[in-house]
Amino acid sequence: MPKAQRSQRKVLILEEEPSVRNALLTLLTGFGCKVDVASNGKQAIDIIRNEKFDAVLLDLRSPHAQAEEVVPSIQALRPALLANVLVITGDVPDAKTLDLIERYFLLQVSGERTVQDIARTLQAMLRLPPALKNA
C-alpha cells in the first residue's frame, strides 16, 4: 500500500458541467489520483495558492472560470504547474480560448474526443503507468 501512496497524483478540476466533472472525477480516482474540485476561478486560485497539485483540468469556456485570471495566477503561484494544465473545451474552442491556450502553451482536449483518448492524455500528462488504471 505505501507504494500506491507514493505514486498518488493530486489533481484539481475546474469544470462547470456536472456530467463532465463527474466523468473526470471518476476517471482520475480510477487512476488512483487524489482529486479536488473548484466551482469557480476564484476558488481554484485560492486552492492552488494553498495546496500543491500535479495537474489542473480547466474548463476555460465556463462563465465562472475567469480564465484570464486563473491561468496567469497559476503561472505566478506555481510556474511549474502550468506545464500540467489540461484545458477541456467544447466541440469548437472560441478565439479567446485558443489565444489563451497558445499564449501559455497549454495542453487541450476537446469534448468530441473519446473517453479513452482523454484517459491516455491524462495518463501521459500525469506519467501514470497503464497498469495503474486496473489497480
Say if 71 falls within a structural domain: yes
**CATH code at position 9:** 3.40.50.2300
85-134 confidence digits (pLDDT tens): 988 776 556 777 778 888 877 777 776 666 778 888 888 889 887 654 44
* Per-residue model confidence (pLDDT) at position 111: 64
β-partners of residue 87 are: 58, 108
Say if 133 falls within a structural domain: no
Angle subtended at Cα 19 by Cα 31 and Cα 69, rounded to the nearest 5 degrees: 85
Residue 23 has pLDDT above 80, yes or no: yes
What is the pTM (predicted TM-score) of this model?
A: 0.82
Count: domains in the chain: 1
* Per-residue model confidence (pLDDT) at position 108: 78
Higher-confidence position of 131 and 15: 15
The residue written with cell numbers 491524462 in the block is: 122
Q: Which domain, by its residues, includes 35?
A: 2-128
33-52 confidence digits (pLDDT tens): 999 999 888 999 999 999 99
β-partners of residue 107 are: 86
Average pLDDT over residues 1-27: 78
